[in-house]
Amino acid sequence: MKKLKVTKIRREHSRRNLRLQVAMDFGDAIRELKLGNLVRRHGWNGKGMYLYLWEFASHLEHGVRRYEDCIVMVTAQKKHQPGWLASQADMLAEDWFTVDPMKRAKRATMKRPKITNYAGGSRR
């Protein structure tokens, strides 16, 4: 596993304890997404915004469409926006952090949005 470059340490206060998090660059954030972790930037203005990797099963559905994995952003309004694209500022930033595992547990139990394909079928 690649050793993370320490650029910045951020303190996170919680009700129970004080945690230290090491800031990452964009490449490290992508690696964390692939490991199943949630990531966010300290520089984002919206409260509670973060990213996760939505992994689809790789199979054809009814022989019509194949779904590819995508990065999903949870917005400040708690809406899930699939197909998030990084800006140049996001790619060059070194203020990426992982998100609290409790949010990860919530995401694992949430209902997936319904996707309708052009053939009229639907997928969950």
Chain segment 7-57, per-residue pLDDT in tens: 555 555 444 444 556 789 999 999 999 999 999 999 888 788 999 999 876
Expressed in angstroms, the distance from the first to the final Cα of the chain is 34
Indicate whether 119 belongs to any domain. Answer: no
Indicate whether 2 belongs to any domain. Answer: no
pLDDT of residue 67: 74
Indicate whether 41 belongs to any domain. Answer: yes
What would the pLDDT profile of 45-90 be if each residue is shown by its tens digit?
878 899 999 987 655 566 666 678 899 999 999 999 999 999 999 9
> 0.85 cut: is pTM over it?
no
Identify the domain containing residue 93 by its residue range.
Answer: 9-110
What is the percent of the chain with per-residue pLDDT over 90, rounded to a whole number? 41
CA atoms of 30 and 70, how far apart (whole Å): 12
Indicate whether 71 belongs to any domain. Answer: yes
48 contacts 26 by C-beta, under 8 angstroms? no
Indicate whether 53 belongs to any domain. Answer: yes
Number of domains into which the chain is organized: 1
